[in-house]
Amino acid sequence: MKNIRQIYNMLRAGIYALVVLALVSCNNGGSRKVIPGNDDLKSGTIHISVDESFKPIIDSQIRVFMSQFPDATIIPHYKAEAECLKDLLNDSIRMVIVTRGLSEGEVKSLQDTLGFAPFWGKIASDAISVIVNNKAADSLFTMGEIRSLMNGTSGYKLNPVLDGNAATSTVRFMIDSVLKGQPLSPEVTAAKTSQGVIDYVAGNEHAIGFIGVSWIGNPEDKQQLAFLSKVRVASIEARNDPDKFIKPYQANIATKRYPMVRGLYYIVKENYSGLGRGFTNFLKNEKGQLIFQRAYLVPSNMDFTIRAAQIKEE
C-alpha cells in the first residue's frame, strides 16, 4: 500500500491528458496518421487500453465479441485512466475506454497530431461502490462523511483505500466531484488494483474501500459473489433524500439517486473501418448494451425501464 497525496495533489479533471497531448503534439514537429492494418470491422488484431476499474465488464464484452467474430482478436491493457489517455498517442493502441470523453481542445490537439479527429461517445453508466470489512461497525455513510474521510477531517477511525498508485478515474472522481478540487488526505492509501482494494478491506477491519461497481455489482457472477463473501457493500445517503441510505443498485444508478455515478466512454482513433470501429459498434448496439445491463451497469444506448416497486434498502 502507498500514500497517494503527493501523487494526486496536482491532479485536476482533464489537465493531465491535455498537457500530454499538447506537449507531444509540439514535440513531434508534424502530424502522423494511423496507418490501416490488416483488420476490418470483424477480423484482425488490435490492442486497446482500458481503465482498470472496468476489467470485469470489458473482459466479458471482449469474450462475447470474439466468440461472435472468431477472426477478431482484441487485446486489452488495463491501466490507470491517465495512462489510458496517454495511450491515445501510442501508435499500437487503437482505442481507449475510460470515464470521460474528450474536450474540444483535446480533439483539436489530437487532430493536429494524428491528421484526423478521433471519435468518442458514452456507452454506459456505473458507480463508485464503498466497501467495508465484514466486522465493521458502520456501513451507512453520508456524503459529508465520505468527504471528511477523503480530506482527513473524519471522526471515523477508518483507513480509506483507493484503486491504484497512479492517476486512476476513482481518484479523479474523488478529487473533482467529492472534494471539489481539495487535496486528498495523507491518510488515504492506494492498492495496486481494484482486486487489491477488495483484498485489503477484507483483511483489515478498519479499512474502507472505493471501487467501480462492476467489480461487485453483479450477484449472478460467481467471482463477484466470492468477493462479496469477503466484504460488505456500504449504503450511502441518497441524493436529494437525506433520510434514505442506498446501495449502487442499477435503478439507483439510472435515476442518479446514488450520489457517486460516472459514465463509461470509448475513444477510437481510426480513420477507416477497422476493428476498433467494429468493437465500438458492438458495445453501442443491442448485444453489448445487454451485457452492460446484465452486469448491473446502466446502458446508455438502450431503453431502460424502471418500474415502481417496494425495495428494502439495507
pLDDT digits (tens, 9 = 90+) for 15-52: 444 444 444 444 444 444 455 668 999 999 999 999 99
Cell of 80: 490507470
Superfamily designation of domain 2-8+126-254? Periplasmic binding protein-like II (3.40.190.10)
Residue 122 pLDDT grade (very low, low, confident, very high; cuts 50, 70, 90):
very high
Amino acid occupying residue 314: E
Bridge partners of 97? 50, 266
Flag the least confident range among 122-131, 165-174, 249-258.
Answer: 165-174
- 15-125+262-299 — its CATH code? 3.40.190.10
Above pLDDT 70, what percent of the chain? 83
The mean pLDDT value for 105-128 works out to: 94
The pTM assigned to this predicted structure is 0.85
Output the pLDDT for position 8: 47
Beta partners for residue 88, in sequence order? none
Listed in sequence order, the DSSP H helices in the chain are 5-8, 15-28, 55-68, 81-86, 104-114, 143-151, 169-173, 194-203, 222-228, 250-254, 275-284, 286-294
Q: How far apart are CA 312 and CA 314, in angstroms?
A: 6
Cα gap 10→281, rounded to integer Å: 36
- 121, pLDDT greater than 60: yes
Q: What is the CA radius of gyration of the chain?
A: 20
Angle at the Cα of 166 (from 250 to 58), degrees rounded to 5? 40
Distance CA 80, CA 148 (A): 24
- Looking at per-residue pLDDT, the higher value among 218 and 272 belongs to 272
231-240: average pLDDT:
95
| Residue 149 banded pLDDT, cuts 50, 70, 90 | very high
CA distance 8 to 165: 9
Cell 481542445, residue?
105
Asked if residue 168 lies in contact with residue 210, where contact means CB atoms within 8 angstroms, the answer is no
pLDDT digits (tens, 9 = 90+) for 200-210: 999 999 999 99
Average pLDDT value for residue range 109-113: 93
Which range, of 186-195, 212-221, 247-256, 270-279, averages the lowest pLDDT?
Answer: 212-221
User: Of 18-32, 40-54, 90-104, 239-253, which gets the smallest average pLDDT?
Assistant: 18-32
Residue 235 near residue 247, CB atoms below 8 Å: yes
* DSSP label at residue 174: I
- Where are the CATH 3.40.190.10 domain residues in the chain? 2-8+126-254, 15-125+262-299
Residue 93 has pLDDT above 60, yes or no: yes
Q: How confident is the model at residue 307 (pLDDT cuts 50, 70, 90)?
A: low
Cite the DSSP H helix spans in 69-204.
81-86, 104-114, 143-151, 169-173, 194-203
Task: Give the pLDDT of residue 218.
Answer: 79
Q: Average pLDDT, whole number, for the chain?
A: 86
The pLDDT of residue 155 is 87
CA 174 to chain centre: 12
